[in-house]
Every structure is written in C-alpha cells, then in structure tokens.
Chain A
Amino acid sequence: MQVLTPLEEERRRHFHDLADWWYEATDAMSSLDDKANHDAYRRIIAMGDAAVPYILEDLRDRGGHWFRALRTITGASPVPADMAGSVRLAKEAWLRWGRENGLIPAPADEPQH
C-alpha cells in the first residue's frame, strides 16, 4: 500500500475538494468551455504536475472531462487523430499514457472495487 507524505495527503485532499466542487457545479453541462472555465477546474490546472496522477485516477474512477486539463498541464497529446470525436477513446488513450509514464498503476495493480 502506497504511503503518502503529509504534503501529498494535503495535495490529494485539495484536489478532491476541488474536483467535487467542479462535478457538483458542472455535471449537467454539455459545454466543454463552461466546464473548463469553472474556478475549480482552473485551480486544479494551477496545481500543475502534482495534480496529474490525481486527475488520471479521477478520470479512471469517475470519468470526468479532464482532457483539457491534462493537455494544458502536460503538453502531451496521446489521442491519435483518428480517435478524435470519441470521449471513450480519449479516456482510454490518456489512461494508457498515464500507465506508460508511471503516473497510475497498471490494471492488475489497481484497487479492486
């Protein structure tokens, strides 16, 4: 089991507080601009690289529209052009990218739900 430092615990709690706020405020929206312009989303982006593992875990577990935040923070574009237009394929591509970069565990190591 991963042991987090107090700083990591605080960052994780901060991320989840912001993410919960963001979901609560934007879950019923379709506009991706409106979702990404919410204060909580901007604050998560402002956390920078430290937020990326938490974003990827949340993408895996709750499936929010985290793609713009991931692109902004990491500069990566792991979604091939022929997968454009599909949220499901974008999610799969980003989770694969996260595993390849050691930011989230491979499926066999993931906690069982």
Chain B
Amino acid sequence: MNLSINDFQARRNWPNLKPENFTRTSPDTIDYNCAAWAAGDTERWWWPAPDDPEAYWPDAVAKTSTLDAFEAAYATLGYEKCEASELEPGFERVAVYAPNGKPLHVARQLPSGHWTSKLGNLEDIEHSSLEDLEGPFYGYPELFLRKVRPSPL
C-alpha cells in the first residue's frame, strides 16, 4: 500500500481497495478533507460542524450532517442532483457516501472516469471506481451530483 495508513487499517476500512486499483496523489494533511477536495478547495476543511469554527461550510447552508445539506453545499458551486455515477462527457460528478443517510465521505470523478478521494487526514488517492471505498467505514454512495465540467485553460 502507498498510504501512510497501515495495512490493517486499510483492510479494515476499505476491503475493496487493492494496490492495483489506486495511486496516491498527494501527501497527507489536515488542511483540507474529502468534501473540500471534491469541491476543488485545498485550503479548508469542509464539514457541517457548528461546534468547530475551524471547519468551513458555505454560508446559508444548514450545518447538519444530512444529504440535503451536502446537496445544498455543492449547489453553491453549481452542482445539481443526478441519478448515476457513469462517466458523462462534459460533466463533473461528485458522489456522497452516506450510510443511513449520514454523509461520511465525498469523491469526485475525473475526466478519465476514475475517481479522486481525500481520505480524512490522510492522502488524496485516485481510485478506479466508487466501489473501491465502499464498505464498513464509508458505507456506500447515496447521492450523486453533477455540474458542467470547466473547460481546460
């Protein structure tokens, strides 16, 4: 494994994540997290945390750990709800993992169809599919959002 997380943690948290399915794409840091990374922000820790002023959450969006709040937060960036995770040319997708409706992780789709995820305090990884991070730790993707993919400069 390339993660600084140890093998025991990786097997416990993400039993589908195999070395051939992912690559590490950043060092570990607590400057930002999965929700920020999905939003393209590497300066803040995005999470609805009313007791934690060091966390960022868009103004006017409820600071509640619900799918509605996550949908509203990403709507501030132009995302809208969609039904599926398949690659759709011209669109960028994010997927919210939310066991029992409680968001725990957000991943963003890359133009290749692969996904990119920041794993809490740990590294960013590029992984082949959403299934790679499914399991007991993050649960399963329950909300998909999309927006028109920005054109490369």
Interface residues of A (CB under 8 A from B): 23-24, 26-34, 63-65, 67-68, 79, 81, 84-91
Contacts and interface: CB of A to CB of B under 8 A. Distances in A.
B43 to A, nearest CB: 7
A31 B65 contact: yes
A78 to B, nearest CB: 11
B120 A30 contact: yes
Nearest to B32: A87
14 contacts: A28-B5, A28-B122, A28-B137, A30-B35, A32-B52, A63-B30, A63-B121, A85-B54, A85-B56, A86-B54, A86-B56, A87-B32, A87-B54, A91-B30
Given A85-B44, A86-B44, A27 B54 contact: no
Nearest to B106: A30
Contacts, number: 84
Given A26-B120, A32-B52, A64 B44 contact: no
B104 interface: yes
B44 A87 contact: yes
Interface size class, chain B: 20 to 34
Interface of B: 5-6, 9, 13, 29-35, 43-45, 47, 49, 51-56, 65, 103-106, 119-122, 137
B31 A24 contact: no
Given A28-B137, A63-B121, A79-B53, 15 more contacts: A28-B13, A30-B120, A31-B49, A32-B45, A32-B52, A64-B30, A67-B54, A68-B51, A79-B54, A84-B54, A85-B53, A85-B54, A87-B45, A87-B54, A90-B53
Nearest to B105: A30
